[in-house]
């Protein structure tokens, strides 16, 4: 299975994450190393970001991916890694 970096390229993933953040935040006044919640992000915005990226990539992503990787650079790197969206167990608590 090809990684997202192989299919989309790391720069393309970074641009995708940046666009999703800008739309959810309503501005693009942040760097690739700023923390999502420090630049105006909130829980509903996080859901919007993950949904938009997942739709663009044709994958179902968990919000915890953004929570664990709260920068544009970190989230793009996590998306580029293999198996970041392994299906969750149906009885799993939280997310």
Query: For 53-82, what is the mean pLDDT?
Result: 96
Pairwise pLDDT comparison (86 vs 69), residue with the higher score: 69
Structure tokens at 78: 């996590």
Query: For 46-63, what is the mean pLDDT?
Result: 97
Share of the chain above pLDDT 70, in %: 77
Q: Which helix (H) or strand (E) is 56 found in, with range? A: helix 43-57
In the structure, what pLDDT confidence band is assigned to residue 90 with cuts at 50, 70 and 90?
very low
Q: How far apart are CA 90 and CA 5, in angstroms?
A: 28
Specify the DSSP class assigned to residue 38. G
- Tell me what pLDDT residue 9 has: 53
Q: What is the pTM of this model?
A: 0.77
């Amino acid at each position: 299975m090809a990684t997202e970096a192989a299919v989309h390229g790391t720069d393309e993933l970074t641009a995708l994450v940046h666009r999703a953040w800008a739309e959810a935040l309503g501005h693009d006044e942040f760097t690739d190393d700023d923390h999502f919640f420090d630049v105006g992000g909130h829980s509903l915005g996080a859901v919007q970001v993950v949904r938009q990226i997942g739709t663009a990539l044709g994958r179902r992503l968990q919000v915890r991916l953004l929570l664990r990787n709260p920068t544009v650079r970190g989230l793009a790197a996590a998306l580029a890694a293999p198996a970041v969206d392994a299906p969750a167990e149906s009885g799993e608590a939280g997310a």
